[in-house]
Amino acid sequence: MQRIEHRACFGGWQHVYRHASRVLQCEMNFAVYLPPQAEHRSCPVLYWLSGLTCTEQNFITKVGAQRYAAEHGVIVVAPDTSPRGPGVADADGYDIGQGAGFYVNATQAPWASHYRMFDYVSQELPDLVEAQFPATKARAISGHSMGGHGALVLALKNPGRYRSVSAFSPIVAPTQVPWGEKAFTAYLGEDRDAWAAWDATALVATAQERLPLLIDQGEADEFLSSQLQPEKLRDACAASGHPLDLRLRAGYDHSYYFIASFIGEHIAHHAKALND
């Protein structure tokens, strides 16, 4: 593991590391913010998953989450969004390939050998973080857009692994919108029934744990009606009795300005669950 960035921030340290991923079979970057409390004790961890086209850099440079992480004593880990490198499959466009891993375990060629972001985020990365940093096994997860989809699916498919989950502008029904249909066809094949295992609206019906879902969605989001459709998750949660706090925010769009406006509330939400 090689440290490639090291910056003082709100009394703690913002790092970026590079390591050889066994699961993804390539080198991966991940960011880790260590709050000042981590100098004296182990701290719980919030995992952040970014969206299409993003790397580990977008969240750590645009949102200001470090301020709130320092206030609550929470480590924040932000991995890259997909495997990368000259030997990793890619495609034209921003919504598939490098930068668009969709946090699934791909089953189709040429993606299956590298695109296993679900296993990377749920197993390999936390094992590494908990071995190398002053981190407890108390975990939370959040994300934006494609990363919001990832956060919801990871929490719903791993009962007991996370104490809380939240999302900004998530793709809640990827099996029913163009972004998800394109990615799932490539990564998972033509069998649409198999896609349900990676769709939050399907997973809530059989979830083994009723972990409350916290979602913020901007009403001025340019992708609201075409790609996000939060009402589908609202209806699925109502039908299955799964707890959901869906907050529609007037005037806000899909940008990092939206995330920056409410990230403090999300980190406070996670800190309460992590410290209970």
Question: Active-site positions?
Answer: 145, 221, 254
The pairing of strands 26-34 and 135-143 is unpaired
**Cβ atoms 46, 142 nearer than 8 A:** yes
Is the separation of the CB atoms in 54 and 61 below 8 Å? no
The Cα-based distances of 179 to 70, 170, 183, 184, 236 in angstroms read 35, 12, 6, 9, 20
First-to-final CA distance of the chain: 32
- Are 206 and 158 in contact by the 8 Å Cβ rule? The answer is no
Q: Which residues, other chains included, contact 164 with Cβ-Cβ below 8 Å and sequence gap of 6+? A: 140, 141, 211, 212, 214, 269, 270, 272, 273, 274
Spatial separation of the C-alpha atoms in residues 169 and 255, rounded to whole Å:
10
For residues 43 and 139, the answer to whether their CB atoms sit within 8 Å is no
Both tokens of 209, joined, read 């744990």
Query: How many Cβ atoms from other residues are within 10 Å of residue 273's Cβ?
Result: 20
